[in-house]
Amino acid sequence: MSQAAALPDVVRNIERVDAQVVAQAAQFPSSILADVAGRRGGLHGRIAPLAPGMRFAGPAITVEVRPGDNLMIHAAMAVAQPGDVIVVDGKGDLSSALMGEIMSQQCMALGIAAVVIDGAVRDSEAIRELGFPMYAAGLNPNGPTKFVPGRLNHPICIGGVTVCPGDLVVGDADGVTVIERTKAAAMLPLAVNKVAAETKRIADIRNRKALAPAWLDASLRSAGVIREGETL
């Protein structure tokens, strides 16, 4: 790509995952969506909710910052639309917080659905009381700087997962799952089937019809643990 054709550091307009897809995806656990998406969309477990009751779903506004600087998060909040999820590649830095109570209050007033940060936040008790869905890699009372440039609405890598602007992001007590915008709608019927299968499996366990998974012996044979014709 030539320099003239390169994206600016700040991209204001993006294509978002459809709002109806977001609404339907919000009905499923992050674990179900991660499974049907190929077990590759779950962020690293270090990125966790400040309270287990926090949940959200929405399209990603992606932010890249330099460690300890939150200038571009403020820029993201200025361009975000109601229902968006701000997803921040904070480089995993825990030496200072990138957000706290004031910015969380602002996010709530703007209708932002959640913030996911691979970095630290502060004012955790106040954010829990607000009920604003804040997912972070840790806590630190130090405040950030606000003068280092970064990028807004470019692809980022956070928690081992690539996130593009407009991708579907879903979070709950287990963590955060990201699904590519163009694939999100196709995952919904798979999620319905997955929930039905797991519901039946749990029912069969409870009524003692199937206390071991039906696939176990075949998988053990394929792995060479037991021989053909053997069972546990």
| pLDDT on residue 212 | 86
Q: If you average pLDDT over every residue of the chain, what do you get?
A: 95
Q: What is the pLDDT of residue 4?
A: 45
Per-residue pLDDT, 151: 96
Contact 80, 48 (CB under 8 A): no
Type and span of the H or E element at 60? strand 56-64
Which neighbouring-strand residues pair with 89?
A: 64
Give me the pLDDT at residue 152, please: 97
pLDDT given at position 230: 84
Q: Which residues of the chain have pLDDT under 50?
A: 1-4
pLDDT of residue 232: 83
What is the structure's pLDDT at 3?
46
Report the distance separating Cα 194 and Cα 216, nearest Å.
Answer: 18
Check residue 7 and report its DSSP letter: P
**Confidence at residue 5, expressed as pLDDT on a 0 to 100 scale:** 56
